[in-house]
């Protein structure tokens, strides 16, 4: 009994060290692609995969570096998928600090597929206003984004000349770590009947599932697991796939700690009841 009490009272710094090892060590092992693909991820994949070449996809970077480990692999996998299907991509952001993350992903995915700025993709940047910007694009994109992030008029890009509002945009993808994905669903999906695909962090997935179950979003990528599944569908296992082993070990460690902590708790409670 003393053993369990001693274990359940272990110094938190030891727990931190064990967790650090549980996360870091698996990163040195070879990643294994996700064998099982969940329905929400497959639906997200199909929403992009069934688009005709030349269709326009808007990817909104609604996250900043704090959530990049989960959402940046999604961004990269989505870009690879879009470019492999010869889709035109418009990058925008509802968080200004997310924009360079989009540029970083484009810097990897575009050269891989021989895609060039202006011809295959454009970065129109960030405007303050949130829901107002989303609604405004429904009337005319140029009302908010007359130029791209380099101050080049969007009409100087051939494919952008035919993009005016959501009627010209096949799918909007929101990669979000907060409530911004809700805005896309509520302001754009509900009002303009625009197909929305959401990629969110693991902690946000519970608020997104009602939209998915109600058919209000076309697909859902949830956390690093969602990103890993998308990577396996695209056929390019990358950082999310690699990270899943670390996440597996971390989850197993947390479960083990829960069990140990509760055994110690129950034993000490029984001892107190006897005394």
Partner 1 sequence: MLRNGLPLIIVFVTAMLLIVAFFIPHKPFGDLESRFLNWYSIVAGFTFLLGLDSLTRHHLVRVIRRREGWFYSLMLVLSLFTTLALGFYSWIRFKDPFSAGSPFDWLYRSMIIPLQSTMFATLAFFIVSAAFRAFRVRNLAATLLLVAACLVMIGNVPVGSDIWHAVSRLAHSVFPRVDAGALGRVELFATVKDWLMKIAQTSAMRGIGIGLSLGGIAMSLRIILGIERTYLSS
- The distance of closest approach from Cβ of residue 15 to partner 1 in the complex, given in angstroms and rounded to an integer, is 5
For Cα atoms 92, 69, 248, give the angle at the middle one, nearest 5 degrees. 140
* Residue pointed to by tokens 């999310």: 240
Is 210 a binding residue for partner 1 by CB under 8 A? The answer is: yes
Beta bridge partners of 60: 92, 174
Binding mask 111-150 for partner 1 (x = CB under 8 A): ----------------xxxx-xx-xx--x---xx----xx
Using the CB atoms, write b or e for 88-116: b if 16+ within 10 Å: bbbbbbbbeebbebbeebbeebbeeeebe
- The distance of closest approach from Cβ of residue 159 to partner 1 in the complex, given in angstroms and rounded to an integer, is 22
* Sheet strands side by side (includes 56-62): 121-126, 88-93, 56-62, 171-176, 196-200, 219-222
Terminal-residue alpha carbon distance, the chain:
14
Binding mask 146-185 for partner 1 (x = CB under 8 A): ---xxx----------------------------------
DSSP state of 222: E
* Residue pointed to by tokens 């708790």: 265
Which CB sits closer to partner 1, 1 or 132? 132
Q: Which of 6, 112, 258, 270 binds partner 1 (CB under 8 A)?
A: 258
Is 250 a binding residue for partner 1 by CB under 8 A? The answer is: yes
Q: Which of 67, 92, 174, 204 binds partner 1 (CB under 8 A)?
A: 67
Q: Which of 78, 89, 160, 245 binds partner 1 (CB under 8 A)?
A: 245
Q: Which of 82, 99, 160, 171 binds partner 1 (CB under 8 A)?
A: 99
Do 45 and 229 touch, CB atoms closer than 8 A?
A: no
C-alpha distances in angstroms, 174 versus 134, 248, 264? 12, 26, 44
Question: Which of 203, 165, 202, 196 lies closest to 181 in space, CA to CA?
Answer: 196
Which CB sits closer to partner 1, 50 or 168? 168
C-alpha distances in angstroms, 239 versus 31, 98, 153, 219, 236? 9, 18, 35, 21, 10
Is 249 a binding residue for partner 1 by CB under 8 A? The answer is: yes
DSSP string, 157-172: STGGGG--SGGG-SEE
- The distance of closest approach from Cβ of residue 27 to partner 1 in the complex, given in angstroms and rounded to an integer, is 13
Is 262 a binding residue for partner 1 by CB under 8 A? The answer is: yes
Q: Which of 48, 58, 68, 217 binds partner 1 (CB under 8 A)?
A: 68
Q: Which residue ranges make up the site for partner 1 (CB under 8 A)?
A: 8, 10, 12, 15-16, 19, 23, 32, 34-36, 38-39, 64-69, 97, 99-100, 103, 127-130, 132-133, 135-136, 139, 143-144, 149-151, 202, 205-207, 209-210, 213, 223, 225, 244-245, 247-255, 257-258, 260-262, 265-266
């Amino acid at each position: 009994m003393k053993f369990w009490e001693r274990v359940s009272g272990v110094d938190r710094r030891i727990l931190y060290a064990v967790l650090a090892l549980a996360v870091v060590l698996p990163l040195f092992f070879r990643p294994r692609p996700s064998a099982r693909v969940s329905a929400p991820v497959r639906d997200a994949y199909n929403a992009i995969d069934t688009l005709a070449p030349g269709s326009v996809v808007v990817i909104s970077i609604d996250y900043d570096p704090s959530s990049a480990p989960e959402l940046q692999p999604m961004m990269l996998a989505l870009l690879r998928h879009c470019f492999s299907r010869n889709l035109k991509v418009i990058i925008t952001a509802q968080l200004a600090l997310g924009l360079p993350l989009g540029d970083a992903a484009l810097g990897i995915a575009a050269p891989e597929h021989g895609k060039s700025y202006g011809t295959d993709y454009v970065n129109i940047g960030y405007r303050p206003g949130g829901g107002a910007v989303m609604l405004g694009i429904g009337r005319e994109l140029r009302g908010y984004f007359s130029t791209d992030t380099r101050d080049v008029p969007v009409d100087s890009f051939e494919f952008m000349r035919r993009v005016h509002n959501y009627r010209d945009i096949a799918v909007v993808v929101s990669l979000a770590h907060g409530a911004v994905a809700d805005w896309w669903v509520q302001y754009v999906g509900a009002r303009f009947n625009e197909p929305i695909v959401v990629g969110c962090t693991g902690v946000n997935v519970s608020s997104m599932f009602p939209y998915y179950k109600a058919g209000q979003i076309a697909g859902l990528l949830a956390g690093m697991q969602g990103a890993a599944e998308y990577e396996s569908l695209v056929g390019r296992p990358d950082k999310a796939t690699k990270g899943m082993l670390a996440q597996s070990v971390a989850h197993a460690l947390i479960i083990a700690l829960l069990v140990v902590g509760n055994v110690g708790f129950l034993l000490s409670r029984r001892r107190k009841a006897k005394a």
